Every structure is written in structure tokens, then in C-alpha cells.
Amino acid sequence: MRLRNVPGSRDVIAESPYTIKDETTRKGTWGEIFGNDNPIYIEIGMGKGQFIMELARSNPDKNYVGIEKYSSVLVRALEKQDEEQFPNIYFIRMEAEYIADVFAENEVAGIYLNFSDPWPKDRHAKRRLTSVQFLERYDRILAPEGHIVFKTDNRELFDFSLEQVEMADKWELLNHTYDLHNSPYVTGNVMTEYETRFVAKGNPICRMEICRRESW
């Protein structure tokens, strides 16, 4: 994500009724925040929110939480939300490393990771959102039958992610493709900002879906 400082974005986030500020005190209370018991889906690294806001629009019976570490990016999603006012979405500005402090065990029905930062240096591998370290964090919040769906155009990051799933005994690869837009999984696909850009450039998009192994 190209970073341009957006003056005042921290204030906008602090004042928005759609952002959760004291997120580490909200563990286990998300049903109260939304005012219903609908399942909660999260996108980690949502950028400007195109994908998750489209999901919120088309699935009013599901709840969504968009997570993004940079204020300057998150503020763009808040601008859209000011117009749309979807009742089934909230946003958090946070570093995803602390995700298990924000949601309780089983509180999350599904996790989306779209075009996550590649962290190409080996010594930064554990920062990748599909590393075994992050899979362990997701394991602490995701419902037993919950899925994680990951899309990227970065083949190295995708291959790394496939390896991590294999290494983490708890997880099972449900399906994967190296070319989403020429695969059956494209049915119902919701495009992200990055995906729109990369598809226009002709880059194939990789996608995988994982869940817990039955034996766990």
C-alpha cells in the first residue's frame, strides 16, 4: 500500500462511530457491539475497504470487522461508510499481531486475507499474515468450522503460505488455484482494490481456502 499521510486521519478515526477504539477490552463482546448474534467475518489488512464493504452490502445477515494498521488508508473506508452507513460493519486500526486479544475463542466465523504484505526477506517471514505464527493466532479466535481465504498475486508468498499450512498440523488445505480468474472458484468472487489493479495488468491471482483438520 502506497502511503500518503492523510492529515487529520487519526482524528477522523478517533471520532468515527464506526471504529472500535478500545479493541482489547472488547474480546467476547462483539455480539453486543453489533446488537445481534450474526456470524462475524474479518478481513485483516483491508486497505481502503472495497472488498469487505461489498460483502457487508450483499450479506446484511452477517457482521464484518475490517482491520487495517494505517490510519491514512483506513480513513478512506470511513469516508465510504459515512455515505453508506452499513449497520453490519465496524473497523479497527490495529496491528494484526494482537488479533487474539481482540476476539474470544470461536468469536470469528471466517477470516479473509487479501494481497497481504509479502515481507520478502527471510528474517521477516513470521510477519507474513499466513505464517505459522499467524495461523496459531487465528486458531485462537476462529470457530471450529471457520475458514480462512487468502488471495494474492505474489507467487512466492503463495507458495510459502501453502508450505506453512502443511507445517501447521492443525490446518488443512480445502482448495487452491494459481489462476483464480480462470478457475471455477471465480464464481461469486468479490474483487479487492489490489485485485482489480493486478487483473488489469494480466497478473494471475492465486487463492487458497483452509480450515481445521477434522481430527482437531
Binding residues for ligand SAH, rule: CB under 6 A, are 1, 44-47, 67-70, 73, 95-96, 114-117, 192-195
> Which CB, 2 or 17, lies closer to ligand SAH?
2
12, 78 Cβ separation under 8 angstroms: yes
- 117 included as an active-site residue: yes
Q: Which is nearer to ligand SAH, 47 or 110 (CB)?
A: 47
Minimum CB distance to ligand SAH smaller for 32 or for 121: 121
- From its phi and psi, is residue 202 left (phi > 0), alpha (psi between -120 and 50) or beta? left
Q: How far is the CB of 113 from ligand SAH (least distance, A)?
A: 8
Catalytically annotated residue among 61, 101, 117, 159: 117
Give the residue at shortest CB distance from ligand SAH: 45
Measured CA distances, 17 to 6, 46, 53, 175 (Å): 19, 18, 16, 38
Smallest gap from Cβ 50 to ligand SAH, in A, equals 6
Do 44 and 99 form a contact (C-beta atoms < 8 A)? yes
Task: Tell the smallest beta-carbon distance from residue 98 to ligand SAH (Å).
Answer: 9
Neighbour-count burial of 72, counting CB atoms closer than 10 A to its CB (0-12 exposed, 13-18 middle, 19+ buried): middle
CA-closest candidate to residue 74, choices 28, 100, 118, 43: 43
Name the residue nearer to ligand SAH (CB basis): 40 or 75.
75
Question: What distances in angstroms separate CA 149 from CA 22, 114, 129, 130, 208, one per listed residue?
Answer: 27, 8, 12, 10, 6
Q: Which of 5, 17, 24 is nearest to 71 (CA)?
A: 5
Minimum CB–partner distance for residue 151 and ligand SAH (Å): 7
Residue 78 neighbours by CB distance under 10 Å:
22
CB 215 → ligand SAH: shortest distance, Å?
Answer: 30
Residue with smaller CB distance to ligand SAH, 63 or 116 = 116
Residue 184: exposure state from Cβ atoms within 10 A (0-12, 13-18, ≥19)? exposed
| Residues with a known catalytic role | 117
